[in-house]
Chain A
Amino acid sequence: MAQVSMTVNGTPVSGEVEGRTLLSTFLRDTLELTGTHVGCDTGQCGACTIHVNGASVKSCNMFALEADGAAVTTIEGMANADGSLGTIQQAFQDHHGLQCGFCTPGMVMTAAALLEENPKPTEAEIRSYLSGNLCRCTGYHNIVKAILAASGQEVAKEFAA
């Protein structure tokens, strides 16, 4: 076992982990931040997406020890300080960007990374950025609409749905 320390959603945390402890496991089991979902556990689906030092990563495909000293943001860090939904979360609700909600934490974290990099993405850029995030329910259209809306852009009425 080894000691690992990091900042998660602005709060310093530390814990004992094994070499093989995944970052997703540390977040969910040790810190009990279960908003980060584990879908495939093989690096394919993106449900476990979080930010490490500002970059989006799949937390099931990274060891906790590799995040030693890092600043981590998870879906629990996306709400406003008063507990109300953040801009991207609110846009997902307004545009019906979720059904079962399993993929949603990863989708929101991916959208946040995209908008950080590219504040006014086109529809095609959004779809391409979502290539590592799978959704079994929505068919993606409403997720794309939600991200367009969150970026402050007009969501076209005739947008194929």
Chain B
Amino acid sequence: MYAFDFERPSTLDEAVAALGAEGAQALAGGQTLIPTLKQRLAMPETLVSLTGLAELKGISASGGVLTVGAASTHAEVARQTDHPGLAGLAGGIGDPHVRNRGTIGGSVANNDPSACYPAAVLGSGAMVVTNAREIAADDYFTGLFETALEEGEIITALRFPIPEKSAYVKFEQPASRFALVGVFVSKSEGGVRVAVTGASEEGVFRWSEAEAALASDFSPAALDGLSASAENLIGDIHGSPAYRAHLIGVLTKRAVAAAA
């Protein structure tokens, strides 16, 4: 790991100012960033720790919306009971130790194509709240490790409309336990959403054919005969594009069954 300066601001304003400096990068739980630094894949001049910011903490539900502070750990999100689909997803990330440090803000900012949270954010139609604005999930995820965030912009919270029903099912990559493919489904007044992670060369995406089929009949049987396209899907030693396409169909059915 290269050397860097370490800053520990105590307010959001101080953090925004510190991140405005050349070569500054935010540090949340470090569960992605520290391994990246060790591999020298990132070499910030300054790390700005977000752990001291009260503005990023706390989970609360009101008016059918669950607001999750960006610094909430996966373990904290797993313990909340207002949004069981989201709790189930958070409780399945990594292992207990990773869940005690890793944060929802860090995961959503990183947008790893195999990460779990992006599926919940897109699959619930959540809002990404930053120090500067609010970004709808449909506009937020722009590609592999790419998001609509500007340089130095800090995610402060995620706002999830609480669905009537939702569930996340992942097929684990056996070594890393990230999603080889993961599917988040939700049903709410606004309609049905199906978001797929782990599968596409372009990152998390909505499977619109499945959403249309489930809109009138939210049951696994509604998906009979429907198959996802293998075009642009990831092919690696763990699975071919065709295998991942097959998994998308199977996991979507399982997620609908789990949510129903």
A interface residues (Cβ-Cβ under 8 A, vs B): 2, 18-20, 22, 41-43, 46, 49, 55-58, 61-63, 65-66, 68, 110, 113-114, 129, 131-133
Contacts and interface: CB of A to CB of B under 8 A. Distances in A.
Contacts, number: 72
Interface stretch (B29-37, B121-129, B198-206, B230-238): B29-37
A132 B34 contact: no
Interface string B1-27: 111111010000000000000000001
A56 B97 contact: yes
Interface of B: 1-6, 8, 27, 30-31, 34-35, 37-38, 47, 49, 51, 75, 94-98, 100-101, 177
A61 B35 contact: yes
Among all A-B residue pairs, the 9 with the closest Cβ atoms: A132-B95, A19-B6, A55-B100, A131-B95, A20-B1, A58-B97, A56-B97, A132-B97, A61-B34
Contacts of A49: 97
Given A55-B100, A58-B97, A66-B49, A20 B4 contact: yes
Nearest to B49: A66
Contacts of B100: 55-57
Contact of A19 (B47, B51, B101): B47
Contacts of B35: 42-43, 61
A56 B31 contact: no
A79 B145 CA distance: 45
29 contacts: A19-B47, A20-B2, A20-B4, A22-B34, A41-B38, A43-B35, A43-B98, A46-B95, A46-B97, A49-B97, A55-B75, A55-B100, A56-B100, A57-B97, A57-B101, A58-B98, A58-B101, A61-B30, A61-B98, A62-B30, A63-B6, A63-B27, A65-B8, A66-B51, A114-B96, A129-B96, A131-B96, A132-B94, A132-B96
Contacts of A22: 34
Given A19-B4, A56-B100, A62 B95 contact: no
B87 to A, nearest CB: 15
Contacts of A46: 95, 97
B109 to A, nearest CB: 17
Nearest to A50: B97
A62 B37 CA distance: 12
Contacts of A19: 3-6, 47
Contacts of A55: 75, 100
A43 B34 contact: yes
Contacts of B6: 2, 18-20, 63, 65
Given A42-B38, A43-B34, A65 B49 contact: yes
Contacts of B2: 20
A81 to B, nearest CB: 27
Nearest to A56: B97
B184 to A, nearest CB: 21
Contacts of A2: 6
Contacts of A66: 30, 49, 51
B5 A56 contact: no
B30 A63 contact: yes
